[in-house]
Amino acid sequence: MLSDARLVAAKDLRIELRSKVALNQVAPFAAAVLLLFGFALGPDRATLEPAAAGLFWVAVLLSALLAVQRSFAIEGAGGGHDALRLSGLDPAGIFLGKASAVAVQLLVLELLLTAGIAIFYGAQLAGFLVLAGAAVLATVGLAAVGTIYGMASSGLRARETLLPLLFLPVVAPVLLAATKAWDAALTGPAGAGAGWLAVLGVFAAVYLAAGIVAFDPLLEDA
Amino acid sequence: MAPAIRFRDAVVLAGRFPLLAGIDFTVAEGEVVLLRGPNGAGKTSLLRAAAGLVPIASGEAVVLGFDLQVDRREVRQHVGLLGHTSYLYDELTVADNLRFAVRAARGPEAAIGPALHRLGLDERLSKVAVARLSAGQRRRVAIAALLARGPRLWLLDEPHAGLDEETRDVLDEIVGEAKASGSTVVLASHELDRAARIADRVVAVAGGRIVEPAPTTAEVGAPGPDGPGVETAAGAGMAVSRAV
């Protein structure tokens, strides 16, 4: 399973490195979202700084949608779902591989957005352990949920509009917990975010387990 | 020896519409079988069903000793399907695509170079993204991927389509070598003259059913009123009427 996951993740990341869609489209989109929030709330840093954590995670969530859609668009281009099925790869490995590739892209994006909230919103970066822990756990949860629903919706005609409808309500707990954890880290005390890390960890574990179990029938029905 | 494919009264549905309506179809190991029939007869559905890509609604379907209703994944590890789409990743290079296919199948990476060479894909082309290739070149890459994987069962849907004459000859040689090595080949083609030359047996398909008796390879490959060995709806209709 893990060797299959490595193979799929390496393939997806290689495709992203060659196509540069994440770099040329998703990252500018996320930066634009941060800027637009700034326009909407006004230039006053006293307003923006307390909202930085929430705005950061909303931007990540919206970018995650694009990353997941892209992850399954590359599979559909040349009859790819059939290629994945014909490959004989373990469906659980395919799930972990695709989720890992999405997670890596999101983590890189989050690094850029972190610089963005420091520059645009004046956020004081502190509590790095909580920031990093929350980012990793939330990203794993987002990638797992996104990969499950990306696969579920990928064979449908209305997949572009259906995926956000399925994905966003389910990841509301991630938005809440990650925002609270980051808020605690940015405004202190960072230790107050520890409980939210546990929530993010449980969420990620549940959806990783669900994906490992459910991906086989999802792949067959796509 | 157990047959490579054994379908008994197998039904494949698209919604309520039967793509295969109670197929009885047996292929012995090491055999090369040509599926003949007009467009929409069910040839592609039969190949996809044998590859474990579409579920069997009822009946019995055993491929390479695996029950398709239970062990579809195991079947796929030993099957190579050349379909209407290339099953390639456009952004990856030719070599990357073959490497992924071979690694996924736990095949030997040493087979990649010879497979590319065999299909006339040189060092320069192997580093080109598949998106930049012509349709014929993509077809050659897809065949090279199958060759590198070395499946036990080759399922070829219109394998000669889009290929130049030289590559068609190479493909026919590859089919012959696969047969010689004990692999089984089922191909669906409208280019009957060429396909009949490499097939041991012809199976006629019409309306999602196998039509009996099937014509011989000599009958199929022989020049007809519409030209030498070219499939026509009228030709398939003749096969049906003969069966009736």
pLDDT tens column, B76-130: 888 999 988 888 898 999 999 999 989 988 888 888 989 999 998 888 888 899 9
In this prediction, residue B234 carries a pLDDT of: 42
First-to-last alpha carbon distance for chain B, in angstroms, is 32
Choose among B77, B83, B105: nearest Cβ to A79: B83
Interface test with B, best of A24, A86, A218, A220 (most B CBs within 10 A): A86
Interface list for B 10-39 with A (CB within 8 A): none
- DSSP alpha helices (H): ranges in B42-92? 43-50, 72-76
Question: If you measure CA to CA, which chain B residue comes closest to A74?
Answer: B89
In this prediction, residue A203 carries a pLDDT of: 96
Residues 6 or more apart whose Cβ sits within 8 Å of residue A198: none
Question: If you measure CA to CA, which chain A residue comes closest to B78?
Answer: A88
Confidence band for A179, pLDDT divided at 50, 70 and 90: very high
**Is A193:A127 a contact under the CB 8 Å cutoff?**
yes
Choose among A18, A82, A89: nearest Cβ to B53: A82
In this prediction, residue A124 carries a pLDDT of: 83
In this prediction, residue A65 carries a pLDDT of: 93
Choose among B53, B103, B130: nearest Cβ to A85: B53
* A26-68 pLDDT per residue, tens: 889 988 988 888 888 887 877 888 888 999 999 999 999 999 9
Please state the φ and ψ torsions of residue A127, each to the nearest 5 degrees: 60, 50
Residues of B in contact with A14 (CB under 8 A): 92, 96
Inspect the interface and report whether the beta carbons of A79 and B76 lie closer than 8 Å.
no
pTM exceeding 0.80:
yes
Inspect the interface and report whether the beta carbons of A86 and B90 lie closer than 8 Å.
no
Question: If you measure CA to CA, which chain A residue comes closest to B149?
Answer: A87
In this prediction, residue A162 carries a pLDDT of: 84
Q: Is the pLDDT of residue A187 over 50?
A: yes
Question: If you measure CA to CA, which chain B residue comes closest to A81?
Answer: B87
Inspect the interface and report whether the beta carbons of A80 and B101 lie closer than 8 Å.
no
Q: Is the pLDDT of residue A193 over 60?
A: yes
In this prediction, residue A77 carries a pLDDT of: 62
**Is A57:A110 a contact under the CB 8 Å cutoff?**
no
Inspect the interface and report whether the beta carbons of A78 and B129 lie closer than 8 Å.
no
In this prediction, residue A121 carries a pLDDT of: 86
* B215-242 pLDDT per residue, tens: 777 776 655 444 444 444 444 433 333 3
Distances (CA, A) of A25 to A70, A76, A93, A101, B60: 11, 19, 28, 17, 49
Choose among A15, A89, A220: nearest Cβ to B92: A15
Interface test with A, best of B70, B87, B94 (most A CBs within 10 A): B87
A221 touches chain B (CB under 8 A): no
A43 touches chain B (CB under 8 A): no
Inspect the interface and report whether the beta carbons of B51 and A86 lie closer than 8 Å.
yes
B139 touches chain A (CB under 8 A): no
In this prediction, residue B232 carries a pLDDT of: 45
C-alpha dihedral (B131, B136, B137, B143), degrees to nearest 10: 110
In this prediction, residue B222 carries a pLDDT of: 58
Q: Is the pLDDT of residue A9 over 80?
A: yes
Q: Is the pLDDT of residue B243 over 50?
A: no
Inspect the interface and report whether the beta carbons of B81 and A89 lie closer than 8 Å.
no
CA–CA min distance A211, chain B (Å): 18
Please state the φ and ψ torsions of residue A78, each to the nearest 5 degrees: -115, 35
Among A203-217, B14-28, B148-162, top mean pLDDT goes to A203-217
What long-range pairs does A112-116 form, CB within 8 A, spacing at least 24?
A112/A27, A112/A30, A112/A31, A113/A30, A113/A31, A113/A34, A113/A56, A113/A59, A113/A60, A114/A56, A116/A30, A116/A31, A116/A34, A116/A56
Residues of A in contact with B87 (CB under 8 A): 78-80, 82-83, 86
A80 touches chain B (CB under 8 A): yes
Task: Report strand pairing: B79-82 vs B227-228.
Answer: unpaired
Mean pLDDT of B50-55: 88
Q: Is the pLDDT of residue B169 over 50?
A: yes
In this prediction, residue A25 carries a pLDDT of: 86
Percent of the residues in chain A that have a pLDDT greater than 70, as a whole number:
96
Inspect the interface and report whether the beta carbons of A78 and B87 lie closer than 8 Å.
yes
Average pLDDT, chain A: 89
In this prediction, residue B226 carries a pLDDT of: 45
More confident residue, A153 or B219: A153
Q: Is the pLDDT of residue A110 over 90?
A: yes
